[in-house]
Amino acid sequence: MLPTIDSQDVAGKRVLLRLDLNAPCDGMSVLDDTRLVAALPTIMYLIEHNAKIIIASHRGRPKGSVPDDNLSLRPIALRLSSLLGTPVLCAHDTVGSDARIKAASLGNKDVLLLENVRFDAREYSNDESYARELASLADIYCNDAFGCVHRAHASVAAITKLLPSFAGFLIQREIETLTQLVTQPAHPFAVVLGGSKVSDKIGVITSLLEHADTLLIGGAMCFTFLAAQGKNVGASLVQNDYLDEARRIMKLAQSKGVALLLPHDVVVAPSLDNTHDIQVVSVDAIPEHMMGLDIGPDSSHSFAEALHSARCVFWNGPMGAFEQPVFAHGTKAIAQCLADAPDTISVIGGGDSACAVARCGLSSKMSFISTGGGASMEFIEGKELPGIAALEACKVRTA
């Protein structure tokens, strides 16, 4: 068990709270506040227990140590203030004079948001000097940024050596949900995987095949599997270096009695940008000059049929290039199928899947949506996550 923030007396203490508030913005408007909403329980707990809250987060991937106004956390502070119903102060830096002065002057229940921690290049290198400067602002550290725990960054890993460190409620729930998924899922257990590359999902597939009853593969990655079966997939994306790996996975699924479903029809076009010459074709009749960009309507129906009997479904990766409405039908079909099955435990593996569900307006219909695409995949794969390992090591040191 991780050391958790509710095991501590935080009253009157300055708590450095690492969150993942990386949200798309248009000027000062936040376009998707999913991650902000997910962080609210821990923030509210600290407010209710009279802590002085100093939030550290990042946004985007700024280069070097030059602040970029387009990646500032100022719009995040405004939206977070609205969600909390209380003012959120905003520092102009992370460890400079403004941050130090504002952190020192906080009263109980006050909330301060530091500027983007990635504006300091030392964040990326897990630099202890940067972690020490951050730690000097606070008495306690709490990590609730699940979407960042697979990064060995200063505000995620190094800082745990410098302050009493604990996990927040979001990390607790993420770990509990994903652990259940890879150890004791409800059966029948169906896995839906999509996205672009087989190479990104090899470890995840291998891990989930230990418990899955059905594996459905869509997205561009399905064409590597179809090509591995000897099919001509036209100009579709294929990872030729992974054809043998695809064959291994299909053989492994068969040996474990897992039903592996691939599309039998697909939506094709000359390119992602050419939406005027779209066809629905059998996977056995993909034209040479066309590329597959979505699963077809018959495949959407058969995938949905396969999910109807599932008690638990894990979904990661869209079924097509869902950013283009004409190639979003397969992804919408999976989202709607899960939304229409309230008794099914539906776990969405973050990233594009979470974005797709949100675009469909069906987020509230899912049982759990992970806030960490990369982190959730690496957890399921069985990799050590630096942020989690650092918290566990902190517990050992203080035991």
Active site residues: 35, 197, 351, 374
Which secondary-structure segment (H or E) carries 85? none
| Strand ranges, E, within the chain | 14-18, 25-26, 29-30, 52-56, 88-90, 111-113, 140-143, 165-167, 189-193, 214-217, 259-261, 265-269, 279-282, 291-295, 312-316, 345-348, 368-369
Distance between CA atoms of 154 and 158, rounded to whole angstroms?
5
Rounded Cα distance, 32 and 36, in Å: 9
Structure tokens at 167: 């996990």
| Length of the chain, in residues | 399
* Residue 245 CB partners (closer than 8 Å, separation 6+): 198, 202
DSSP string, 295-316: E-HHHHHHHHHHHHT-SEEEEE
